[in-house]
A and B are shown apart, each in its own frame.
Chain A
């Protein structure tokens, strides 16, 4: 009886702790998703009966495939770059433990402060040969005109560069934090077994922070899939139309607000949500992302 009561109290406590998040989740995720789904199967000009018409409209849109291609290529460049560089630099930061660590961590965060519209301006000035402090270097490669850099075939690299510098610093500091969670005993034991710096990094530390890297991969994938600000800003201000409807999210925005087709925009958003969720689930179930939590519960029992 007493045990039963204790269990009940535990459950109530758990619910209380979860409730604030649950309210937010319902208000700002579940409700919008349900509304978006309803609009996506609702009637629109070209699909008066509703149903899957809006989805078919999106799949057949002349911009859809190129946007899929752009985003896919972007992810192929951006994801590995983030994973490798973030893991590498945070391991380095953790290995070189000395008085410079703190200013170094700060230094990694600085580029992350330059994001959104500011990042566009900064990168525009850095990459535009007329203004760039690196104009001399560009000239060495025979590049003297803005259009030689800002053209459609280079966009994916420019956006990957922008997104990388905006995001990497934050993640390096976070992964550095996750490295601090590795118990000293384990590192001590490894050291006593004669592991050198590289073995420590790749055979001990990296496997131990793998879950955090998986977590990062899920979030970075979702963010990358939704790339919007960089192409939107560059084609609405600096080079009008250069990256118009370049990404899926831009296409969704265009459909909703310039094409007056909210149904199709919602359909595209639902497709992107589905892809994000499926990829996250695959990553979670193909790795042991949630296993540790279960193990700990077992231990307690």
Chain B
């Protein structure tokens, strides 16, 4: 019996091996065909549901030349899919839409997925970003193109500002003073129990959280004055009840505050207008109230920096047999003015955002031209925070959870940053103060 069992095991093992070998050969054959450019040109694109329309437009634009396959999946799945392809040595998507930090993971030589775009993208395209696409620069090369900019601006409700006789703050000290004037009125200066606290406060202030100095070093330091000044400014606002510690999408915040038109002002990314403030199933603020102003500046800073909440990037596959096709697709998806004109997010490429802004600037829903502040802030996204190999996006959830739970701004940030430092060390960074 035992001998038979061993025999059976050996046999099924052999069967399994031959099956695997068969599969590998076929895959290599088809890949080889692309390399010699004898077969049809193909391109596999992974996008999230929001970017599907853009991918479809690209597919239509190259119909007959390139056989484009589009796969729609969640943003959080991309790294896993690429990791699996790296493991099996085949099956990489040629073009991927990513949360901004992914480029740090994919540029890592041990991952090797990201295509260096320097040789394939016209420098004029890069120039058209006017520095706002520099997130994609690692070691002096471009590894991605920004799909959109998610630069923070100051959104405010003109009706409430008129009612209370407030003026739009231009410094963070004025922001705090204005916020404190809301105490007791039922109005608030936004919510911080989510990624918004990082994007709208810590990042513009320059608090070193993901300050990648080189491939092996990252600076994370909650004791830096750029962090402590945020704690000192924000905590009194939380204590006074004018900054909500729930998230901006929290069901309770929506119900009690946002949908009651009780948000007097809030720091938020450029896409909030069309995506958060306006929609009926979101904040549902009526027309003729909201306006956007430039970011207030932190004391001692000469520039009123923005942070970013979102601002996805397009990354190409370095293993693709036809890198020029990959790069061309990325350029189209990130910058094509006609295609981008009706998409909700702010394109970083100048000709594209000019056309995009033309539609929004005259939109009677907003008071005045909200794109003016966005254009001013576009090149002012603070570049101290850099794409890193560790999962900062996931760790940001910890920040939100801590803030919601305790309302203690400094303690929550320190817990979050301590976790970030552990994560950074876990992927091989030396963490410096």
Question: Is B389 close to A, CB under 8 A?
Answer: yes
Question: Is B110 close to A, CB under 8 A?
Answer: yes
Q: Is the CB of B426 within 8 A of A257?
A: no
Question: Is A129 close to B, CB under 8 A?
Answer: yes
Q: Is the CB of A236 within 8 A of B76?
A: yes
Cβ distance A237 to chain B, nearest Cβ, rounded Å: 9
Cβ distance A192 to chain B, nearest Cβ, rounded Å: 45
Question: Is B87 close to A, CB under 8 A?
Answer: yes
Q: Is the CB of B405 within 8 A of A152?
A: yes
Task: Report the Cα distance A110→B108, complex, angstroms.
Answer: 48
Q: Which residues of A contact B254 (CB under 8 A)?
A: 130
Question: Is B4 close to A, CB under 8 A?
Answer: yes
In this complex, what residue of A is CB-closest to B77?
A257
Q: Is the CB of B16 within 8 A of A11?
A: no
Task: Report the Cα distance A116→B404, complex, angstroms.
Answer: 26
Task: Report the Cα distance A23→B13, complex, angstroms.
Answer: 9
Within 8 A of B (CB), among A242-262: 242, 244, 254, 256-262
Q: Which residues of B contact A152 (CB under 8 A)?
A: 401, 405
Q: Which residues of B contact A45 (CB under 8 A)?
A: 110, 427-428
Task: Report the Cα distance A244→B400, complex, angstroms.
Answer: 12
Q: Is the CB of A146 within 8 A of B251?
A: yes
Task: Report the Cα distance A19→B111, complex, angstroms.
Answer: 40
Q: Which residues of B contact A235 (CB under 8 A)?
A: 397
Q: Which residues of A contact B405 (CB under 8 A)?
A: 147, 151-152
Q: Is the CB of A259 within 8 A of B399?
A: no
In this complex, what residue of B is CB-closest to A12?
B4
- Max chain A Cβ within 10 angstroms of own Cβ: one of B79, B105, B251: B251
Task: Report the Cα distance A241→B198, complex, angstroms.
Answer: 14
Task: Report the Cα distance A254→B5, complex, angstroms.
Answer: 38
Q: Is the CB of A239 within 8 A of B13?
A: no
Task: Report the Cα distance A108→B105, complex, angstroms.
Answer: 47
Task: Report the Cα distance A130→B246, complex, angstroms.
Answer: 13
Q: Is the CB of A257 within 8 A of B16?
A: no
Question: Is A76 close to B, CB under 8 A?
Answer: no
Instruction: Report, nearest first, the 9 A-B pairs whose CB atoms are least far apart.
Output: A241-B397, A257-B80, A240-B397, A130-B251, A258-B391, A62-B422, A147-B404, A45-B428, A26-B12
8 contacts between A and B (CB under 8 A): A31-B16, A241-B396, A242-B397, A244-B395, A244-B397, A254-B394, A257-B83, A258-B391
Q: Which residues of A contact B (CB under 8 A)?
A: 11, 14-15, 19, 22-23, 26-27, 31, 45-46, 57, 61-63, 128-131, 144-147, 151-152, 235-236, 239-242, 244, 254, 256-262
Q: Which residues of B contact A (CB under 8 A)?
A: 1, 4-5, 8-9, 12-13, 15-16, 76, 79-80, 83, 87, 105, 108, 110-111, 193-195, 246-247, 250-252, 254-255, 389-391, 394-401, 404-405, 419, 422-423, 426-428
